[in-house]
Structure 1
Amino acid sequence: MNLEKFDGNNFRQWKFQIKCALKAKGIDIRVPRTEQNSAEWSKNDGMAMFIMTSSMDFKQITLIENCETAKEIMTKLESVYEQKSELRKMLVHEKFYQYKMLPGDSVAQHISKVESLAKQLKESGETVSDMAIITKILGTLPPKYRSLRQAWMSLDSKQQTIVNLTARLLDEEASLVGEEEQETALLVANKGWKLKSKQSEPMQSGVNQNKNTKHRFECYNCGKRGHFAREYRAPRKFKSRKPQQ
């Protein structure tokens, strides 16, 4: 029989397919052995052990090598893996309900992670509705998607599907990325303008300071204010002054 092999991680699914396979063969491993059914019981039990071990990895067979009956095999595996399954279920529950969208994740990555956690919950035996998945996706989005969440709540319940939500979130993400790029370009342009203005301020202040300085002193050549002797175009009239006695 073509059965999925048990590798230590899929016990619940493997146990179910073994149950179906044995039922198809008319075998019930819970039936006790008696003197009246000894021959048939041995045949059925041998077939059950063969079906079970044929659908197990060799690493898992090591655990049940000392078992004598199919029932012993199942009991041993249940004692080991059903406890692990409960622990795994608890851990998956914790991951699902504590999950939050990471700052660097895209919308597609966010949705994929939520759906993956929901799938793990289903595989552990839990029932996870589409509404629970949608609620988790919307509830863990960053604040910039607030308007989309509000618009989603106003939709008809028939339109509130995971496929529709994915399409709307991807459109909203593209729109937000475009707005952020425009804001970044504007911010860079403003910074460049401010830097250029600051660089021109010393030059302007130097010119003003030079003008103010000119008005404070008389030209040594003509005696007038407003320029220096070196800027005087007419022939120099300057004569060195003798120091006063």
Structure 2
Amino acid sequence: MASSVVSSIQLTNVKPFDGNNYSNWNFRVKLILEQQGVLETISSTPPEDEAKKKTFEQNDVKARNIIVQCLADNILETIKDKTTAKDIMDALKGTYLKTGIANQVQLQRKLRSMKYLHGESLNAFITKFEHTVNELKQCGGTIQTNEVISQLLSAMPESYQAVTTAIDVLFCQDESKVTFDFVKNKLLMEEARQEKNKDDAEPSTSKQVFISQKKYKYKNNNKSNQGYFPFKCYNCGEKGHKRVDCKKKDWKNSKKCNLTSTDEIVFLTTDSVVDSTESNAEVIFIVDSGATNHLISADLGNYLTNTTKVSYNIGVAKLGESIVASLRGNLHLRTTNERSSKYM
């Protein structure tokens, strides 16, 4: 009596099979058959021993009842003439499970053409990706885990290139650490980070990146500002004008630099105005030999080598606020043309 109650409860969670999503339905039904102790009936023939045969037939009736309760009416018409649970499952498999070389080729092409597009849920995309991989395996195709990971990473847009590169470096160091679940986790974390940055971003298309809170930012356009300038000139020390407009020094032959600071240099630019244009397509590092350090996000800390714990306060664009760098080390990078690898 208890067994039948368990069966009825489990069956309510299985959508009757109507010809769609056979692999998912097959997976759920097999779990119920296993739970009820009758899974062997769909893969074995009745034994010759009379006592064992009687028990097998009882289990077969139970298995057929479970399977039939999980089928839609339109599917029932195709299996009414089947007399055993094995015959029913074999008939459904032969009709609805896609097999053969042609299907394998089709699914391989589908897998390689899948691309994640900005705006859609990354979790939903990964679910579709895994479903395609499972379909390929069920129809007889073989695909290694590292190939699955490679296909998933290649489906990501350029904005995920930093994560892809970091995973590639870790894979080269210790292949066992890079599992499919690990890669999914890192990609979902990157999606959350990008969404947070999008929410926190200012409405302007251009914003200042990292400067010392001791300095002010003004565009060096060699034009006099209208109105009174309330701060001191960094050249002569007098109030009322900027250093770029100072008449006590000829700036034509001077090297222009938008920012100076006595703090440790984090980013250093050349003659251009210190603005950073945001782009959803890629992340660009301006590598300058004069830069002491380059900042990376905390989630890339695991990929640093020769690390040293530090505590650097770094001023940011918002006056009075700063961030703290806690770790220093070397990050292994690869150029976009894949020709060389460097440490920085």
TM-score, normalised with respect to structure 1? 0.50
Match of 2:186 among 164, 179, 199: 164
* Identity percentage of aligned residues: 19
Match of 2:41 among 28, 31, 34: 28
Residue 61 of structure 2 aligns with which residue? Answer: 46
Contact 1:49 1:69 in 2 (8 A): yes
Contact 2:22 2:97 in 1 (8 A): no
Residue 205 of structure 2 aligns with which residue? Answer: 182
**Following TM superposition, by how much is the alpha carbon of 1:5 offset from its aligned partner in structure 2, in angstroms?**
4.5
Rounded Cα–Cα distance in structure 1 between residues aligned with 2:76 and 2:101: 22
**Following TM superposition, by how much is the alpha carbon of 1:63 offset from its aligned partner in structure 2, in angstroms?**
0.9
Q: Secondary structure at the match of 1:56?
A: coil
Deviations 1:114-140 (A, max 9, x none): 343214433665688886665445423
1:116 aligns with 2:100: no
1:72 aligns with 2:87: yes
Provide structure 2 residue ranges, at least 5 long, that are not aligned to the other structure: 1-6, 208-344
Is the strand fraction higher in 1 or 2?
2
**Following TM superposition, by how much is the alpha carbon of 1:98 offset from its aligned partner in structure 2, in angstroms?**
1.0
**Following TM superposition, by how much is the alpha carbon of 1:87 offset from its aligned partner in structure 2, in angstroms?**
7.4
Distance change (3 Å), C-alpha of 1:115 and 1:181: farther
1:99 aligns with 2:114: yes
Is the helix fraction higher in 1 or 2?
1
Deviations 1:181-200 (A, max 9, x none): 5249xxxxxxxxxxxxxxxx
- Residue range with higher mean Cα deviation, 32-41 or 112-121: 32-41
Contact 2:60 2:84 in 1 (8 A): yes
Residue 22 of structure 2 aligns with which residue? Answer: 10
Rounded Cα–Cα distance in structure 1 between residues aligned with 2:160 and 2:48: 68
Distance change (3 Å), C-alpha of 1:35 and 1:141: closer
Contact 1:122 1:128 in 2 (8 A): no
Contact 2:38 2:60 in 1 (8 A): no
Provide structure 1 residue ranges, at least 5 long, that are not aligned to the other structure: 185-245
Rounded Cα–Cα distance in structure 2 between residues aligned with 1:90 and 1:113: 21
Rounded Cα–Cα distance in structure 2 between residues aligned with 1:124 and 1:170: 30
Q: What amino acid maps onto 1:31 in structure 2?
A: T
